[in-house]
Amino acid sequence: MWDINEFYAIIIKSSLIYIIIMFITKIAGLRTFAKMASVDFATTIAIGSILASVILNDKVKVTHGAVALSSIIFLNLGVAYLSKKSQSLSKLITNQPLLLMRDGEILTDNLKDANISERDLMAKLREANAYKITHVKAVILETTGDISVLHGNNEQEVDEIVLSGVQV
């Protein structure tokens, strides 16, 4: 059974680590929680794990959590900066978006490569309010694991620049 002091300790640690993460995020910028690439997603998971450890494990000090959070966030920013400057590093750490559908045609080989079923693809089309498969211009598996659905009427075309960098 917990005593009241444990509850207070959790509230205090939660409050402190919350303030620390807000402070670090203010310094590091909005990119901190943007899912721009898979490394950003991994960073978000690491941040969540650190927060949970600090809050719930009485052996982990708030200061240790602050150092760990700062390290992870600034390491992620450094990697983002370096990958912006170096094309080869960017290719090494970032997945390339993958085209799953084009002009109403399902690209089954790409679905297999991405380990996505047609059933999952149809669910994403429904989520995107795509009413007719012939109106689907492109479906892209993004570097973050999100699926983007571009759809409209038959007269609409997708500008090729929107699909730049997408693996066909």
For residue 126, is pLDDT > 70? yes
pLDDT of residue 105: 94
pTM above 0.85, yes or no: no
Nearest to 44 by CA among 14, 78, 16, 21: 21
């500008």: which residue's tokens?
159
Indicate whether 108 pLDDT > 90. Answer: yes
What digits encode the pLDDT tens for the residues 23-81?
888 888 777 777 777 778 888 889 999 999 999 998 999 999 999 999 999 998 888 88
Q: How many CB atoms lie within 10 A of CB 80?
A: 20
| Alpha-carbon distances, residue 24 vs 12, 50, 155 (angstroms) | 18, 14, 47
- The contacts of residue 138 (CB under 8 Å, 6+ apart) are 99, 101, 102, 103, 148, 149, 150, 158, 162, 163, 166
